[in-house]
Structure 1
Amino acid sequence: MTREKLLAIVGPTAVGKTALSLQLARVFDGEIISGDSMQVYRGMDIGTAKVSPAERKRIPHHLIDIKDPDENFSVAEFQALAIPLITDIYSRGKLPILVGGTGLYIKSVTRHYQFPEAAQDTAYRKKLAQRMKDEGPETLLHKLKELDPETANRLHVNDKRRIIRALEIIHLTNKTMTEYIKEQKEQIRESPYDLVMIGLSVDRQKLYQRINLRVDQMIHEGLVKEVKKLLDMGYGLEYTSMQGLGYKELIPYLKGEISLEEAVEEIKSRTRKFAKRQLTWFRQMPEIHWFDVTDEKEWNRNLLKITQFVEGKFPILKNINESS
């Protein structure tokens, strides 16, 4: 049976994934599926570095602007949406291109992970929600730290839904979310796709410089106004979406608690740490073919090198009519 072809482009934030995906989509007649956990939210454009509406008209993009900021979104839901999208795009003679920096989202699709999402106990969940309301989310987060410290350390105290979900999984399965993720990592499962995965890497200091410049550009483009608008619409830190980088750091500034300079420096610092975690995650994926794009002057040469590599893997999809 012929496997569906899938091109994935991964790497840390600010490394150049979007630019590469647009170029390869033109060359190989592709459609792009966003593998970013934040770009699903409407009204959160600058801080999530969404591709411009003009580019979205030229190249079809999927899984962008599909949720309001007060709606929940999980890796299991992402997987459930992305897998049939890949089939649909490929069935129309196009190349599906999965692009993103959220490692678990990418791997959930390329390896068809199985998540414990089916197990639910509505009564238990309501009980936890009431306790959280009565005693505060700190109480349940402390309980989760005793049972699953790794998951608890990843969650913000206001991420109430995920705290409750993590405790519910333990209650129903006697396994922690950390154990589920570890089991998935340990399973040697061949991808169901004819998969080519490109990873972009950059010298660490150069990457940090790019991150700093990107944050400055976001502020220049109106990130503060974007966050203020979301707050005025009633979206606060109680929502997972507002825990995103660039959003939660600006809220204290808008409340008059810190200066803009302090908020911007916090965004840069947390984004640099996030990029380091992304690299750690992706370095554990042996199927990634890495390309160093540190030298921006060599972008065209690197683009040609990557294009030729993909063409060698997917020769029948080369768009011979592409002139640029």
Structure 2
Amino acid sequence: MTKRQPILCVVGPTGVGKSEQSIEIALRYGGEVVSADSMQIYRGMDIGTAKLQPSEMRGVPHHLLDIADPAEKFTVAEWKRQADQVIGEICARGRLPVVCGGTGLYIRALLDDLDFSQTPEDQTLRARLERRAKQEGVRALYDELCARDPERAARIHPNDRKRIVRALEVTIARGTAMSADYEWAPRQGRYDALVIGITMPREALYQRIDRRVEQMWRLGLVDEVKRLLECGVPVDGTAMQAIGYKEVVAYLSGAVSEEEAIRIIQQNTRRFAKRQWSWFRRDPRVRWFAKGPDGQFPADEIARLWTCVEAFLQDIGWSTANRSSTCRMESES
């Protein structure tokens, strides 16, 4: 029997500090970070996706950032293909893959080795649904999705046209609910995985989110969106439907004021964090560790996290020789 490759996943809601903790793990155990963020894959989308600057990576190699043009279509199937390849290369170097991100389907694709070849794409049906969304309104399609697949509808915002259309497309084309693919009983995937979930008091996280949105605005989010539009990124494309970007487009068109745009981004980001919590809470494989209201782990909690990681690495026979390689690289940089 072939030995499964190890991965350590760090998940949780946006703004909770997944990137920083992933770097700490990589530094301690000789790892490389694999991004599992469906918007950080796009080049030129840096401020609004809170993409780390090279100096913030502390010498740790990061993968699957800036791998797609924001004007192109990029599927979860393509991300998984590239992630599997990158993880294999990291393991071949004797390093630990640390998968970091809040895109639940990306994480699940790795953990359960999901096969997307059976997920139909019907361009004619999709175009018809898009026309209906324009003529009847997105809410009409959302109501239909609620009737056809209430479980999937509960995980989609009523105004998220792209995901509503896709869910209806799959449900109608396949004849079964899209949520049928979301059975949470753990499956035997191709990886030996430890999944660490980071959480913190909700109100404290919401305050962090609000401050981060204000900082993004100050750092030049509006100019970033202007550059993307000038480069031909379509307003109705997947990239421009990301939180922070679609609201800036509305601001640039004069539909909302600057204050209103910031408020809506904050509100939509908080709602997104809530959906991420709900998604990951459903997965029994996630081992949760709680930060305090100040955004730091209490001493006993961070000790528990490191003990959990040590036990996992010991169970899979991770060589202690691998652990110092990234630390040496950090000290030499």
TM-score w.r.t. structure 1 length? 0.85
2:310 match: 311
Q: CA deviation at 1:92?
A: 1.3
What corresponds to 1:95 in structure 2? Answer: 96
Q: Give the number of aligned pairs.
A: 316
In the alignment, which residue of structure 1 is the partner of 2:72? 71
1:100 Cα shift? 0.6
Aligned partner of 2:197 among 193, 196, 199: 199
> Quick check: 61-70 or 288-297, which moved more?
288-297
One-letter identity of the residue aligned with 2:283: M
Measured on the aligned residues, the alpha-carbon RMSD in Å equals: 2.9
Given that 1:76 and 1:117 are in contact with CA atoms closer than 8 Å, whether structure 2 keeps it comes out as no
Q: Give the alignment of 1:1-324 within 5 angstroms.
A: 1-56=2-57, 58-117=59-118, 119-120=120-121, 125-126=123-124, 129=127, 131=128, 137-138=134-135, 142=140, 145-146=143-144, 148=148, 150=150, 154=156, 165-181=166-182, 184-185=183-184, 187-296=185-294, 298-299=296-297, 301=299, 303-315=302-314, 316-318=318-320, 319-320=323-324, 322=327
Any idea what SS the aligned residue of 2:261 has?
helix
CA deviation map 1:34-82 (0-9, x unaligned): 1111111111001101111234582211111111111112222222221
Shift of 1:96: 0.5
Change (3 A) 1:16 1:317: farther
Q: Residues of 1 paired with 2:196 and 2:134: CA distance? A: 40
Contact 2:26 2:98 in 1 (8 A): yes
Per mean C-alpha deviation after superposition, the further-off stretch among 80-89 and 97-106 is 80-89
Distance in 1 of aligned mates of 2:186 and 2:40: 30
- Give the drift of 1:9: 0.2
Gaps of 5+ in 1: none
State the Cα deviation string for residues 12-39 of structure 1 (Å, max 9, x = none): 0110101111111111111111111111
Moved more, 70-79 or 293-302: 293-302
Counterparts of 1:2 and 1:284, CA distance in 2: 28
Quote the Cα distance in structure 1 between the aligned partners of 2:44 and 2:324: 38
Q: Report the alpha carbon displacement of residue 167 of structure 1 after superposing the two structures with TM.
A: 4.9
C-alpha distance in structure 2 between counterparts of 1:57 and 1:95, whole Å: 16
In structure 2, C-alpha distance between the alignment counterparts of 1:251 and 1:120, rounded to whole Å: 28
- 1:64 & 1:104 partners in 2: Cα distance? 17
Deviations, residues 138-169 of structure 1 (Å, cap 9, x unaligned): 45964675354555673787856x66654553
Question: Are residues 298 and 257 of structure 1, via their aligned partners in 2, closer, same or farther at CA, if it must alter by over 3 Å?
Answer: closer
Q: 1:59 to 1:242 in 2, by over 3 A?
A: same
| Equivalent residues of 1:132, 1:140 under 8 A apart | no
Which of structure 1's runs of 4+ aligned residues deviate more than 6 A? 132-136, 155-158
User: Which secondary structure state, in structure 2, belongs to the residue aligned with residue 290 of structure 1?
Assistant: strand
2:258 alignment partner AA: L
TM-score (normalised: structure 2): 0.83
The residue identity in structure 2 corresponding to 1:87 is: G
Change (3 A) 1:205 1:297: closer
User: What amino acid is aligned across from residue 256 of structure 1 in structure 2?
Assistant: G
Q: Secondary structure at the match of 1:225?
A: helix
CA drift of 1:5 comes to 1.0
Identity %, equivalent residues: 40
